[in-house]
Amino acid sequence: MSSSTASERSLPNNQRSKWLIGFGWIALLAIVGAQATGLMISRPDRDMGHLQKIMYVHVPTAWTAFLAFAIVFVASLLYLWRREERYDLFAASTAEVGVVLTALTLALGSIWARPTWGVWWTWDPRLTTTAILLIIYAGYLALRGFTDDPERRARWSAAVGILGFLNVPVVYYSVRWWRTIHQVQSAPSTLDSNYVLALRLNVLAFTLLFAYFVALRYRAARLERMVEERVEAEALAEGGVHV
């Protein structure tokens, strides 16, 4: 069986994609509901007022970015172990979503920092290590464009995906390891009880939205790979006719 035929059989059809559409609506409704809960039931913070409510976007975005790179790490290990292309495509799809989430985390943090710290950006350990994380995984995506050989591309990407994940715990513990003006991680155990429910709901909602975007991008990656295989097969066939 050719690899192209195998890809066609494994490709999600229209019926299988219906669940993805439904899941997307569930994720969207979860986001709307969680945000509405945060806006309506959370009292203004004593120091920051309503500005505190940006936490319901900033914290879940950071959490899902960490989750994305953890998945890239695991999928990269699985690729090197099993040498199955699906793990490489899944890692790449998740990395794309993770890069967007990391950039959004930095942007939201800057919006929060301006009225609280008085600056849009400062070379704080948390901000700096997060920026480095963004650069690493943006480099991961750029690296994938350096070769047309799928196997070589997958090997190089897996190596960067594994090594890049080493920076994730550095980002997470940076507020504890170094002097920093960034607050300790917001979690149910560190928050006033008035904010716990809304934060948990938003973390769950953003996780659902993250899963939806990864599934959507993975499906697109499989389609793209199938097209690549067809083009390669047609090129070989045409070459064979002229020999």
Q: What is the pLDDT of residue 60?
A: 95
The helix/strand count (H/E) of the chain reads as: 8, 0
| Tens-digit pLDDT profile for residues 223-242 | 888 887 787 777 777 765 44
11 φ, ψ (degrees, to nearest 5): -70, 135
Q: What is the mean pLDDT of the chain?
A: 86
| Tens-digit pLDDT profile for residues 153-184 | 999 999 999 999 999 999 999 988 888 888 77
Angle, nearest 10°, between helix axes 14-41 and 55-82?
Answer: 150
165 φ, ψ (degrees, to nearest 5): -65, -20
Assigned fold of 13-233: Four Helix Bundle (Hemerythrin (Met), subunit A) (1.20.120)
59 is written with which tokens? 């914290």
Rounded to an integer, what distance in angstroms lies between the CA atom of residue 96 and that of residue 29?
Answer: 23
Angle, nearest 10°, between helix axes 3-10 and 193-242?
Answer: 150
Domain ranges of the chain: 13-233
Rounded to an integer, what distance in angstroms lies between the CA atom of residue 163 and that of residue 157?
Answer: 10
Q: What is the pTM of this model?
A: 0.86
| Tens-digit pLDDT profile for residues 131-158 | 999 999 999 999 998 888 889 999 999 9
| Tens-digit pLDDT profile for residues 197-218 | 889 999 999 999 999 999 999 9
Counting every residue written for the chain, the total comes to: 243
